[in-house]
Amino acid sequence: DQQVKQNSPSLSVQEGRISILNCDYTNSMFDYFLWYKKYPAEGPTFLISISSIKDKNEDGRFTVFLNKSAKHLSLHIVPSQPGDSAVYFCAAINTGFQKLVFGTGTRLLVSP
Amino acid sequence: DTAVSQTPKYLVTQMGNDKSIKCEQNLGHDTMYWYKQDSKKFLKIMFSYNNKELIINETVPNRFSPKSPDKAHLNLHINSLELGDSAVYFCASSQEGIRDSPLHFGNGTRLTVT
């Protein structure tokens, strides 16, 4: 039962352009969403999060958008940089249960 | 300074053996976790401990036994290893409440069972 889905396994973008990574979820009880970034041979690192009471959160080049009615969130990176090349995991949680559920990740490649 | 460190980084062993993975965090967090990333890249929670007390125990075979000697350590012991146990195991920690303290992960232990 995959409650968090990232349907695009990979994405290629040119440096300077916008990267848009998508995530869908099925559990309407999720009330907090996070994005993690993972480089090879390292653990995931926290990038940005959003509460279900908001529809947008911005941190520098990274913006997360949440569409609760569609159960969809997206991560926008602009401008994209080669150092952004990594696997990005979407994660969701019902904070009453403290169990973080991850998607399968999207591999982003930003070419110079 | 490594915030969440786990050892070993790589572990190759034969079926039927017993092995342990160690994890330590120096962040002062109250909660520690074990996650498993399988061949399909799913990152799934296995266990969670808060102040040495087990709070999340997913449907994991009882061959897997976590042990928390203190709140800075959470070790994972696996008995009678099977081929399907091959995966990357990540330790993580957070303060109580993921809203205030997103998970910090270790760099993973790649377990290969032959």
CATH of the domain at B85: 2.60.40.10
The pLDDT confidence band at residue A28, using thresholds 50, 70 and 90, is very high
Output the DSSP codes for B12-29. EE-TT--EEEEEEE-S--
Nearest to A100 among B40, B98, B107 (CB): B98
Domain extent at residue A53: 4-111
Which of A21, A98, A68 shows the shortest CA–CA distance to B32? Answer: A98
What is the torsional sign of CA B51, A49, A66, B37? negative
Residues of B in contact with A89 (CB under 8 A): 43
Q: Count structural domains, chain B.
A: 1
User: Which residue in B99, B107, B109, B110 has the most chain A C-beta atoms within 10 A of its own C-beta, making it the best mutation to test that interface?
Assistant: B99
The CATH number that applies at residue A107 is: 2.60.40.10
Q: What pLDDT is recorded for position B60? A: 83
Q: In chain A, which ranges are E strands?
A: 4-5, 10-14, 19-25, 32-38, 45-51, 56-59, 62-67, 72-77, 86-93, 101-102, 106-111
CA–CA gap between residue A87 and residue B5 (Å, rounded) = 21
Burial of A90 (0-12, 13-18, 19+ CB in 10 A): buried
To the nearest whole number, what is the mean pLDDT of chain A? Answer: 94
Q: Is the pLDDT of residue A107 over 90?
A: yes
In A, minimum Cα distance to B39 occurs at A104
Q: Is the pLDDT of residue A72 over 80?
A: yes
Residue A87 tokens, joined: 């696997």
Whole-number percent of chain A with pLDDT over 90: 91
Domain extent at residue B96: 4-113
Q: What does the pLDDT look like over A85-102, one tens digit per residue? A: 999 999 999 877 778 899
Whole-number percent of chain A with pLDDT over 70: 99
In B, minimum Cα distance to A46 occurs at B102
Residues of B in contact with A2 (CB under 8 A): 42
User: Which residue in A34, A100, A101, A107 has the most chain B C-beta atoms within 10 A of its own C-beta, making it the best mutation to test that interface?
Assistant: A100
CB A63 within 8 A of CB A57: yes
Q: What pLDDT is recorded for position A80? A: 98
CA–CA gap between residue B86 and residue B14 (Å, rounded) = 11
Q: Is the pLDDT of residue A112 over 70?
A: yes
Verify whether the Cβ–Cβ distance B48 to A32 is below 8 Å.
no
CB A3 within 8 A of CB A92: yes
Q: Count structural domains, chain A.
A: 1
Residues with pLDDT less than 70, chain B:
1-2, 97-98, 100
Residues of B in contact with A99 (CB under 8 A): 45, 48, 56
Q: What pLDDT is recorded for position B54? A: 84
CA–CA gap between residue B105 and residue B27 (Å, rounded) = 11
Say if strands B31-37 and B87-94 run parallel, antiparallel, or are unpaired: antiparallel
On whether any CB of chain A is under 8 Å from the CB of B3, the answer is no
Q: What does the pLDDT look like over B18-50, one tens digit per residue? A: 999 999 999 999 899 999 998 878 899 998 888
